[in-house]
């Protein structure tokens, strides 16, 4: 019995070793050579009749599927585009209009600002040129502005009727400025007199 169990143990161990060789050693040693041999055979002329038979079998099985696919492709496509169109019309177009309005407002604001700056620059240049011209002519620009305003008061008939003494004073001042009248101080007191030249 011991001999039988020893024989049985040797058989099991031999079987396990052969199984290990078959599972791990053979694929690592034989697989690359088998793959290379299989590839060479497939590329050779010997495989062409076999490949033709395989191709015929594949085509027989694929023909009904391809026909069904071709029928589906040939069928007219029925799309309901109403939801997509309504989504674009109701959702996208108002947002695009809002963005365009924002850009338009921004551009209009910048253009308005530039016009305002241009007008102010033009006024500043005109004022500077006017002051320079008055200075070269020997006239103080501040006095010129005051003369202009006083002249406008003298032209306003309602103001002249309401303020006759002020109107006379302005006329005397205008005459003095133009050199037509001189104001003199008297000897004993503080008395002004008008004298025409």
Query: Which of 42, 74, 106 represents a domain boundary (last residue)?
Result: 74
How high is the mean pLDDT of the chain?
A: 79
Residues 110 and 158 placed together within one structural domain of the fold: no
Q: Rounded to an integer, what distance in angstroms lies between the CA atom of residue 175 and that of residue 182?
A: 8
Confidence band of 195 (pLDDT split at 50, 70, 90): low
Question: What pLDDT does 97 receive?
Answer: 86
Residues 57 and 95 placed together within one structural domain of the fold: no
Residues 11 and 64 placed together within one structural domain of the fold: yes
C-alpha closest to that of 171 among 155, 185, 158, 184: 155
Q: Which residues contact 181 (CB under 8 A, 6 or more apart)?
A: 172, 175, 194, 195, 196, 197
Query: Which of 74, 109, 124 represents a domain boundary (last residue)?
Result: 74
Q: Are 122 and 116 in contact (CB under 8 A)?
A: no
Residues 134 and 179 placed together within one structural domain of the fold: no
Residues 86 and 69 placed together within one structural domain of the fold: no
Beta partners for residue 193, in sequence order: 184
Query: Which of 99, 115, 139 represents a domain boundary (last residue)?
Result: 139
Q: Rounded to an integer, what distance in angstroms lies between the CA atom of residue 149 and that of residue 174?
A: 12
Residues 134 and 145 placed together within one structural domain of the fold: no
For 166, the domain range is 140-197
Q: What is the mean pLDDT of residues 15-44?
A: 82
Residue 159 in this model has a pLDDT that exceeds 50: yes
Q: Are 143 and 166 in contact (CB under 8 A)?
A: no
Q: Which residues contact 144 (CB under 8 A, 6 or more apart)?
A: 134
Domain count, the chain: 3
Summarised one tens digit per residue, pLDDT across range 113-150 is 888 888 888 788 777 777 777 677 666 777 777 778 88
Q: What is the mean pLDDT of residues 87-110?
A: 85
Residues 150 and 128 placed together within one structural domain of the fold: no
DSSP state at residue 77 = P
Question: What pLDDT does 186 receive?
Answer: 56
Residues 133 and 144 placed together within one structural domain of the fold: no
Beta partners for residue 95, in sequence order: none
Residues 12 and 49 placed together within one structural domain of the fold: yes
Q: Rounded to an integer, what distance in angstroms lies between the CA atom of residue 88 and that of residue 84?
A: 6
Q: Rounded to an integer, what distance in angstroms lies between the CA atom of residue 84 and that of residue 178?
A: 84
Question: What pLDDT does 73 receive?
Answer: 81
Residues 150 and 131 placed together within one structural domain of the fold: no
Q: Rounded to an integer, what distance in angstroms lies between the CA atom of residue 23 and that of residue 29?
A: 11
Question: What pLDDT does 190 receive?
Answer: 44
Residues 61 and 27 placed together within one structural domain of the fold: yes
Residues 11 and 66 placed together within one structural domain of the fold: yes
Confidence band of 196 (pLDDT split at 50, 70, 90): low
Q: pTM score > 0.75 for this model?
A: no
């Amino acid at each position: 019995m011991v001999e039988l169990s020893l024989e049985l143990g040797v058989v099991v161990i031999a079987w396990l070793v052969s199984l290990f060789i078959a599972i791990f050693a053979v694929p690592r040693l034989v697989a690359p050579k088998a793959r290379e041999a299989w590839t060479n055979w497939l590329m050779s002329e010997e495989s062409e009749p076999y490949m033709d038979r395989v191709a015929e079998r594949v085509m027989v099985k694929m023909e009904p599927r391809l026909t069904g696919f071709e029928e589906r492709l040939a069928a007219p496509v029925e799309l309901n585009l109403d939801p997509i169109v309504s989504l674009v019309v109701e959702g996208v177009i108002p947002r695009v209009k809002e963005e365009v309005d924002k850009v338009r407002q921004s551009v209009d604001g910048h253009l308005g600002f530039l016009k305002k700056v241009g007008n102010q620059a033009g006024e500043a240049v005109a004022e500077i040129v006017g002051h320079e011209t008055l200075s070269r002519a020997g006239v103080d620009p501040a006095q010129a502005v005051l003369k202009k305003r006083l002249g406008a008061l003298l032209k306003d008939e309602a103001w002249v009727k309401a303020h006759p003494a002020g109107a006379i004073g302005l006329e005397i001042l205008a005459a003095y400025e133009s050199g037509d009248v001189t104001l003199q101080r008297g000897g004993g007191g503080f008395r002004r007199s008008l004298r025409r030249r």
